[in-house]
């Protein structure tokens, strides 16, 4: 039986120059669609869950294309609101070797960022759901969206729906101060928090001692502190942290950590040669939610999430087009990449 | 000796699904850049004039790509201002047979639409210029742009620069009432006006009797009336009208009319099988300006403009990539399309 | 309120060489998915109906891709069965001028052609439905499929679901004799029949006098006879006939005829410059069903169907990606192809 | 039993901007290979003959690619000489509507143009052959090639091999005077001459009265005179003339005329909507040779040649990728372009 | 002087999503053609041998395209039989990092798999040949093909043609038991066997102790045992084994081993960053056959084979498009990848 | 204030098979334009300098396309001469793993190689310039070009313009003896020389002891000797040497050395995973010139040059499309490739 899972946020058009070209060289863009919470919904649909994505898109072919892209990969779009000005866009140059990937956002004035809280009927949306997920990007889109998130999580609590939040701090959307204020209010209703090396520090001032993300140095001990501080501060049931070691735009180390208030569970570490790293964190969140909603043990959950998101780095676009069996196969240890005939 | 010609307006990114695909089918977009006045500048640069395009683009790779596209085709970008929020975008489905081309605008909040009049130093920009051209789209972008246009045409007058204006009414940008008010003020400084079958009516209420653009029926006599009313109303030196007969998205009739206050000059009529019709009117304006600034007779001027814009319909993108000799060759009558070896 | 409409048949992968290349020249194929009944389902989903497509696809990424393609365009795939050997494929060269389009079928041994009648639970599938549609292709896939069709139409009758059948004779799938035998049994349960110039003759020996499809000559009187014979023979409520005049691979005349047992209703005739004609008949069927299920008058129904299918010829792929308003706009008479800004 | 047919000339790399782009817009080129005599060889291989193409290509991957392209389509390349400086290149913009196709040649210093007559062992090459074909382009490449042609046709005569020559005058390669001198010497050994509206006049001063190729006006009577003058002047067995009416880059009329010294045989006339017209004349020559070497009647021969070359205009690239049965089908009269399922 | 070498098997159409896309994401497929024995034939043609490929393809454009692809790269297709149902197809996702390449076979009911033994006239095919090669895939296609293989190898023996067999076990085609039975009968006529880490075990139960292919661990000592057991069991002249170490879909170790009954010859080991690994083993077989038929020493033969197949991993498609001099250059030790100007 | 910098040499069309295909596989080529000195000009334009490129191109669309490509990226083309026979072309296969990149030159008879020294008015070209740069390729194109270079450097000296020369020895253009003779005469006017591991040895017989470029072994001590010998021999102000370690076509080590006659300055060493290495040396030269003309310290200059050229290896095409801030960011040490949002 599939579980109803609901995610809420923005889906953008992503325009990517093909073949490692830069924007100034491009004569065409590959077009996909994505966004933190939409990416999570696709992961869950891929694993067989009944995943709903809630957003607002303009009532034109561009908005329809975004909805179609979600439907194509099995996400339910019944609660998508139509109207507003435009679909957010982001341009994404794929980095290579020492040249970093580059994102140029053109997301302002998007339909979802202008949506009113009352456009979302959370009682109807969340009825029967097992899980609700959002990221720190959604409330950062404006006070109206922060309110919509608050409405959502309160309704979720009321209906007994588990709530997860990926902190996902975006400095171009809001200041740390604003983020802290808004997120603190929302965290009260969150059960499981997910973050990476920068989020906890930027949003809540919780810092992993002596890591330097630009040097690819990770301090695992520090992350444990961060996780436990987060969990305590907001009385969470669990905290997951993704640990990315950035060696170059092509080569990253990748693993995950999960803390359930009692023990720390560390996943296997992957050395990844990257095809497309956007959505890596969302693939982790999607994997974690799948595992937790299906009763995996904490260790299995963080392994599933890490394997799923490791595979995402080999997939073009924001969405993680992998099957349950592919994730499980990697989770069990076959990272040899041998041909599957 | 090349003549300095200045045009002022917006340049947008144009995203076009390849191979007659619709937006909802597209997995990639061909990307070009264009806009009414930018298209005119490219025409003039192609014919050997020193064409400057004045605008404002965001200070990011997307804005730079637009500038590069202009530079590639010889347009001078020395007076382009950097800053603002975003580059305007438009999505353009190429129509086919009975299915019309479709334009989805996403141009709001563009850098140029947010520019302040004082960001353009018209004295410096227009010094030494022979011609200044703008279209009704630019003042439609906002009161600030209407003011900038007014500054420009006043300076032009002061410096003895000839001014042309393509009425180019866009119903999504402003109401007929607003257009009439703003355009009337600007027309005082205009020497040559250009319009098509809808513009004069929508903007100034001057209507060609008994034409129905959706039926491909043209009433030439009516156009003559429109031209002479326009010329008189604004004491113009000349009025040019493009006559498009729309039989289908693939097949159009095309010709032009020029009135110099004394006589009507009608160009040859072309039956066109269309590759890309966007920018057809701009190619006409570019051809007309080239001809007038180079002292062509009225008949030759309208023939040159019509031939140039006929060829535009065979060119992909907004810009009219044709050479002086190609236009002249068609103008002289060789429309056989025989291979040039 | 959307109407539940169910269609049943095969969906194939379509491999098309790009840019008018022939198969022997192709180094890549554009891949879309289609099939007579699937195409009808997409049309109905586009117009806002709750369209279900019933089929069987292999349980592998190729089968999943076909399902995803349907979902993308809003078709419900809840009743799609998984299993069997392979997805049917067809190679499709787009014709040009005097060179006809070429179809190479590789559809044998497909999952649906090997499906057992009992794999489809028609009571469950048709509950609440307003309409059931199939074409002559489905029963031609094998006796098992003929049985499945019979099960379906019988259940439809029982549940009060209107049944339509597009005769769609395919000579590579069965002989006229076999077709007549099987189709005659099925027609007993059909309410509305749809056919083209060859179908009635090949399947039931009902011939329009003195038409020669290879010469582009149509004999409208003859078609009226065919329609009335068909209607009487099988006590139908309505018969629709598509009238294609083939002048070249690029240029066709196109119109439709509808007979309700009392009067003949003829649609406007379109002169089409073709982009992709596959699925033209299915677009007509989809349009007709939409119109009839929504209570259009017979004249409006045949106009809607003809306009919808006219537009299909401008769309790449089997599916008719047009909106309700686009069909209505053409139906009302604007075939000028003018840009929609 | 296949007939051995030998053709001799240059094969060039053809670089074509995709999708009607102009050279200055192109960021990629489609690459094919072609040349007058190579195109004829491909036609003959397609129809099942044992076609050899004789040339010289550089001993590098670019030369190898040209050879591979011939092999791919069944042409025997056993007698191709390796060495020399470079492969000739031509850039080819596909025209549209009133914009003509444009060819930029970059063929100078090619391997074949620098080949020495003694590099071709005609006794060995022509042994067992039924037919030898060349065009006026080959001797125009230089005195060395003119000599090689003379060696070839003399050997052909000695061995009883029928010789055909397509006059194919190219003004960028030589002057009319030079052409007349060289071609006159070669024509002594020619059995069948092929030409178009310009060739006979430019090369031999034989003019069809009152035709004007830039106006699409054809004077059939004049062509009959040209054919009979040519036949008499050089004691030919037959003369074929292609009649192209150029209405636009998209639309041409096309037919052929054959004169056997007794009667004039005129083919059906085709109205063609062009995909790619390069190689149209070569497809006519290839069809004519096939028909004559297989004993077709003169009327059938010119019909076969005209149908074959009509189809070429629908094929991308220089080569005529059509089968014997496709040509025969069109020759019999089915130009309806109906889908072949 | 080129040696006549004959290979026998299936050639399939290979459909590959571009740019690391997965099948469910693909809107186009790159199309190439390949198959174990066809790939070997292309290698040999590239090195200058007279390579014939024997198979059966359907008599349609798809079958012709496969033949053309072989001809393009110099393989002789004189003995290819036409007829049967369809060309086998396989879909091939290119893997990346921890995501393995994925092959979806759609090869059942192919023309070759349905061919009758008597369709191949081995006396005529093998006359004058120096070498005959097949793989374990061909007899796995059905008893008819196993018989055809037996006919071939018996004829080869009779005519003094050396026979090689690449064991190439495919679990989707037959069971180990069936494979053992059929292959044992065929091995009686084989001179040189080639295998990889799985083949000997799966087919003949000969296992290299303590290797685990999913862990990238190779046990060289074990392979020596396997080679010597194989050689003795079937009285072979030589046994070659390819040693692939799978670290990820991008990174493999690669080397080869050859045993001539007296000594073991181990090639240099290559660390490969993979572009396309399909056909790597076939490139090894092609290199080995070339070396042995040209009298290379065992050490040189295994080095040539290993270098050739190392390069294959950098080539897109099944075929190994490398020249003799490129293989020799790498074999001599220049693996620096420096630009060749 | 931008500095006027002038470079002089050839710009070629570069034709690259897409996606790692080899030339014999390619059905299309990506087209870019480049050449040693043009590449340097683009680097300088990117960093904000007023960069002029001087050359001669044919007066046709192919020549125009090369000019447009330069203009697009901000290079001034005011002094480009039009005329001559053709634009030089080079075919460039991108290497992979052990397969080296392959360049096939087709540059003979280019417009620039046939230019006369007097076609370049160096007094006019160099007036107001700060720097003049050329490479050893330009004088290698012929005695006329060697003379033009001599004219240029003499004029530069006279006008106080700093001169740099990248030795860039090309064995296909001239012999070491000829190179030494010509370059020795030119070096008299050079201020800064740039070279790689082969240049100094090939041109001046100055060899770094015990390096073997095919083994990726670098002898830093040897390079210091080379640099100091070069500086002394030609009384240079500075000598820069690029140190490439070739591990494979994908993986290189990269660093630079600068000697100012007093001290040696070594840059950071980069381990690069290569996208496109053509133009790497030119990007170093462009970076060095920028740094020196802007008064960077020697250490900063070599770091800037090394960082700029490191980034070039991640950019498609000859040109180094990176911004000043991107180079500075890498120069400061962030090589983590983290996404820039």
pLDDT in tens, F255-302: 999 999 999 999 999 999 999 999 999 999 999 999 999 999 999 999
| Residue B207's pLDDT band (cuts 50, 70, 90) | confident
Of C68, C73, C74, the CB nearest to A73: C68
In chain E, the percentage of residues whose pLDDT exceeds 70 is 97
Could you say which of C19, C73, C337 has the minimum Cβ distance to residue B99? Answer: C337
d(Cα F332, Cα F322) in Å, to the nearest integer? 15
Confidence grade of residue A340 (pLDDT, cut at 50, 70, 90):
confident
Closest approach of chain C CAs to the CA of E38, in angstroms?
Answer: 18
Q: Do D337 and C170 touch (CB under 8 A)?
A: no
Cβ(D240)–Cβ(D40) below 8 Å? no
Nearest to F104 among D27, D61, D106 (CB): D61
CA–CA dist D56, D78 (Å, integer): 11
In a domain, E341, yes or no: no
Q: How far is D69 from chain F (nearest CA, A)?
A: 9
Instruction: Say if residues F5 and F41 touch (Cβ distance below 8 Å).
Output: yes
F97 vs E: CB within 8 A: yes
**Chain F residues with CB inside 8 Å of B69's CB?**
72
- Directed axis angle between helix B61-72 and helix B36-46, to 10°? 40
Collect all residues of chain D within an 8 Å Cβ-Cβ radius of residue C21: 316
Measured between CA atoms, how close is B69 to chain F, in angstroms?
6
Question: Would you say residue E339 lies in a domain?
Answer: no
Domain assignment present for residue B336? The answer is no
Nearest CA in chain C to A69: C72
* DSSP assignment letter at B224: H
Write down which chains contact chain D via at least 3 CB pairs under 8 A: B, C, E, F
Q: How many CB atoms lie within 10 A of CB F232?
A: 11
DSSP structure string for E43-106: HHHHTT-EEEEE-EE-SSHHHHHHHHHHHHTT-B-TT-EE-SSB--EEEEEPPBTTBPPEEEEE
Q: What is the pLDDT of residue C302?
A: 98
Inform me whether the pLDDT recorded for B341 exceeds 80.
no
Nearest-CB residue to F27 (from D31, D60, D62): D31
CB-CB under 8 Å, C97 with D337: yes
The torsion of the CA quartet A150, A152, A158, A163, rounded to 10 degrees, works out to -90
User: Is residue A194 in some structural domain?
Assistant: yes
Tell me the helix, strand and coil percentages in chain F, rounded to 5.
40, 25, 40
Contact C61 E23 (CB under 8 A): yes
Contact F248 E335 (CB under 8 A): yes
Q: Which chain A residue has its CA at the smallest distance from C45's CA?
A: A68
**Per-residue model confidence as pLDDT tens for chain D (341 residues):** 799 999 999 999 999 999 999 999 999 999 999 999 999 999 999 999 999 999 999 999 999 999 999 999 999 999 999 999 999 999 999 999 999 999 999 999 999 999 999 999 999 999 999 999 999 999 999 999 999 999 999 999 999 999 999 999 999 999 999 999 999 999 999 999 999 878 888 899 887 665 555 555 557 788 898 999 999 999 999 999 999 999 999 999 999 999 999 999 999 999 999 999 999 999 999 999 999 999 999 999 999 999 999 999 999 999 999 999 999 999 998 878 888 87
The rounded distance, in Å, linking the Cα atoms of F26 and D31 is 7
Q: Which residues 63-92 in chain F show a CB within 8 A of chain B?
A: 68-69, 71-74
What gap in Å lies between CA B242 and CA B227, rounded to an integer? Answer: 11
Query: Comparing B320-324, D145-149, F220-224, F306-310, which segment has the lowest mean pLDDT?
Result: F220-224
User: Which pLDDT belongs to residue A214?
Assistant: 54
Query: D69: how many CB neighbours lie within 10 A of its CB?
Result: 25
Please tell me which of the candidates A24, A171, A213 has its beta carbon nearest to residue F338: A213
B340 within some domain:
no
Q: What is the pLDDT of residue A182?
A: 97
Helix (H, G, I), strand (E, B) or coil at D28: strand
pLDDT greater than 80 at residue A215? no
Indicate yes or no: CB of F71 within 8 angstroms of CB of B74.
yes
Rounded to whole angstroms, how far apart are CA atoms A186 and E271?
Answer: 51
Closest CA–CA distance from residue C57 to any residue of chain B (Å): 23
For B38-72, what is each residue's pLDDT tens digit? 999 999 999 999 999 999 999 999 999 999 999 99
- Best to test chain C binding among B16, B24, B36, B97 (most C CBs inside 10 Å): B97
Q: Decide if F339 touches A, using CB distance below 8 A.
A: yes
- Distance (Å, whole) CA F256 – CA F269: 8
Q: Do A24 and B102 touch (CB under 8 A)?
A: no
- The answer to whether E27 contacts chain A (CB < 8 Å) is no
What percentage of chain C carries pLDDT values higher than 90?
89
List, for residues C76-133, the tens digit of each pLDDT value.
999 999 999 999 999 999 999 999 999 999 999 999 999 999 999 999 999 999 999 9
Q: What CA dihedral angle connects C168, C174, C178 and C183, to 10 degrees? A: -20
Domain count for chain B: 1
Contacts D15 to F, Cβ<8 Å: 15, 29
pLDDT at residue number E255: 97
- Whether the pLDDT of residue C242 is over 90: the answer is yes
Q: Is B213 on the interface with C (CB under 8 A)?
A: yes
pLDDT in tens, B242-273: 999 999 999 999 999 999 999 999 999 999 99
Do E84 and E111 form a contact (C-beta atoms < 8 A)? yes
Asked if F60's CB is within 8 angstroms of D104's CB, the reply is yes
A213 at interface of B, judged by CB pairs closer than 8 A = no
Task: Say what the pLDDT of residue D215 is.
Answer: 53
- Reported as type and span, the H/E element at residue A164 is strand A162-166
Asked if the structure places residue D330 within a domain, the reply is: no
**d(Cα C193, Cα C233) in Å, to the nearest integer?**
11
- Using a pLDDT cut of 90, give the percent of chain F over it: 89
ipTM for the assembly? 0.94
Q: State the Cα angle at A318 between A315 and A320, rounded to 5°.
A: 50
Q: Does F190 have pLDDT greater than 90?
A: yes
**Residue C72 to residue A71, Cβ atoms within 8 A:** yes
In whole angstroms, what is the distance from residue C40 CA to residue C47 CA? 11
**Chain centre to alpha carbon of residue C280:** 8
Residue F339 to residue A95, Cβ atoms within 8 A: yes
Q: Give F66 to chain B, closest Cα distance, Å.
A: 10
pLDDT at E275: 97
Query: Which pLDDT value is given to residue B177?
Result: 95
Q: Is B341 inside any structural domain?
A: no
> What's chain F's average pLDDT?
95
Q: What is the pLDDT of residue D198?
A: 82
Cβ <8 Å between E97 and A18: no
Boundaries of domain holding B135: 4-331
Integer distance in angstroms from the first to the last C-alpha of chain D? 30
C-alpha–C-alpha distance, residues E299 and E286, integer Å? 16
Chains contacting chain E through 3 or more C-beta pairs under 8 A = A, C, D, F
**Chain C interface includes D340 (CB < 8 A):** yes
Q: What is the pLDDT of residue A327?
A: 98
Contacts of A23 in chain B (CB under 8 A): 61-62, 64-65
pLDDT of residue E55: 98
Asked whether residue F337 is assigned to any structural domain, the reply reads: no
List the single range of A251-260, B195-204, D167-176, E2-11 with lowest mean pLDDT: B195-204
pLDDT of residue C211: 56
Residues of chain C positioned with their CB less than 8 A from the CB of E85: 108
- Chains within contact range of chain A (3+ C-beta pairs < 8 Å): B, C, E, F
Q: What is the spatial distance between Cα A215 and Cα F335, in angstroms, rounded to a whole number?
A: 8
Q: Which two tokens stand for residue C208?
A: 């329009």
Name the token pair of F282.
């030119």
The mean of the pLDDT values for chain E is 95
* Percent of chain E with pLDDT strictly greater than 90: 89
Residues D108, F106: C-beta atoms closer than 8 Å = no
Residue A102: phi and psi, rounded to 5, are -130, 130
Give DSSP secondary structure letters for C74-142. Answer: T-B-TT-EE-SSB--EEEEEPPBTTBPPEEEEE-TTBTGGG--GGG--HHHHHTT-SEEEEETHHHHT-
CB contact under 8 A, E72 and D69: yes
Average pLDDT over residues B309-326: 98
Q: Are strands E50-54 and E4-8 parallel, antiparallel or unpaired?
A: parallel
Closest residue to B337, CB basis, from D98, D171, D278: D98
- Considering only CB atoms, D340 lies closest to which of C21, C25, C102, namely C102
Helix, strand, coil tally for chain C in percent (to 5):
40, 25, 40
User: For residue A212, what pLDDT is reported?
Assistant: 56
pLDDT in tens, E94-131: 999 999 999 999 999 999 999 999 999 999 999 999 99
Q: What average pLDDT does range A315-319 have in this prediction?
A: 98
pLDDT digits (tens, 9 = 90+) for A83-133: 999 999 999 999 999 999 999 999 999 999 999 999 999 999 999 999 999
Task: Give the residue from F35, F203, F7, F202 showing the smallest Cα distance to F107.
Answer: F35
Instruction: Kindly determine whether residue C339 and residue B19, on different chains, have CB atoms separated by under 8 Å.
Output: no
State yes or no: pLDDT of C192 exceeds 80: yes
pTM: 0.96
CB pairs under 8 A between D and E: 16
Mean pLDDT, chain B, whole residue set? 95
Question: Per-residue confidence at A208, pLDDT binned at 50, 70, 90?
Answer: low
> Searching chain C, which residue's CA lies closest to the CA of residue B277?
C339
Structure confidence at residue A308 (pLDDT): 98
Instruction: Give the residue from B33, B42, B53, B74 with the most F CB atoms within 10 Å of its CB, the best one to mutate.
Output: B74
User: What residue of D is the nearest CA neighbor of E65?
Assistant: D72
> The tokens of F94 are what?
């991108």
Residue E215 has pLDDT above 70, yes or no: no
Task: Output the DSSP codes for C139-173.
Answer: HHT-HHHHHHHHHHHHHHHHHT-EEEEE----TTT
Which of A28, A102, A108 is the closest to B29 by Cβ?
A: A28
Rounded to the nearest angstrom, the minimum Cα separation between F271 and chain A is 9
CATH number, domain at B320?
3.40.1190.20
């Amino acid at each position: 039986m599939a579980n109803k899972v609901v995610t809420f946020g923005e889906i953008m058009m992503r325009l990517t120059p093909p073949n490692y070209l830069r924007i100034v060289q491009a004569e065409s863009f590959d077009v996909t669609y994505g966004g933190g919470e939409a990416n999570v919904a696709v992961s869950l649909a891929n694993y067989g869950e009944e995943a709903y994505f809630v957003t607002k898109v303009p009532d034109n072919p561009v908005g329809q294309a975004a909805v179609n892209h979600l439907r194509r990969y099995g996400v339910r779009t019944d609660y998508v609101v139509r109207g507003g000005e435009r679909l957010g866009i982001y341009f994404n140059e794929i980095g290579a070797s020492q040249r970093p990937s580059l994102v140029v956002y053109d997301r302002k004035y998007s339909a979802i960022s202008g949506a009113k809280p009352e456009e979302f009927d959370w009682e109807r949306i969340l009825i029967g759901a097992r899980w609700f997920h959002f990221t720190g990007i959604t409330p950062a889109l404006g006070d109206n969206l922060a309110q919509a998130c608050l409405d959502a999580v309160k309704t979720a609590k009321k209906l007994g729906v588990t709530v997860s939040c990926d902190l996902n701090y975006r400095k171009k959307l809001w200041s740390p101060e604003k983020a802290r204020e808004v997120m603190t209010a929302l965290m009260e209703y969150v059960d499981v928090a997910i973050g990476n090396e920068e989020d906890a520090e930027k949003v809540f001032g919780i810092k992993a001692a002596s890591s330097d993300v630009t040097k690819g140095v990770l301090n695992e001990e520090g992350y444990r502190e961060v996780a436990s501080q987060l969990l305590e501060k907001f009385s969470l049931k669990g905290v997951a942290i993704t640990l990315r070691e950035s060696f170059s735009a092509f080569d990253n180390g990748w693993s995950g950590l999960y803390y359930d208030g009692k023990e720390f569970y560390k996943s296997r570490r992957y050395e990844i040669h990257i095809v497309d790293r956007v959505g890596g964190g969302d693939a982790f969140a999607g994997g974690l939610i799948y595992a937790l909603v299906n009763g995996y043990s904490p260790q299995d959950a963080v392994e599933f999430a890490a394997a799923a998101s490791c595979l995402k780095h080999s997939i073009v676009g924001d969405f993680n087009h992998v099957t349950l069996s592919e994730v499980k196969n990697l989770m069990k240890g076959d990272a040899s990449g041998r041909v599957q005939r």
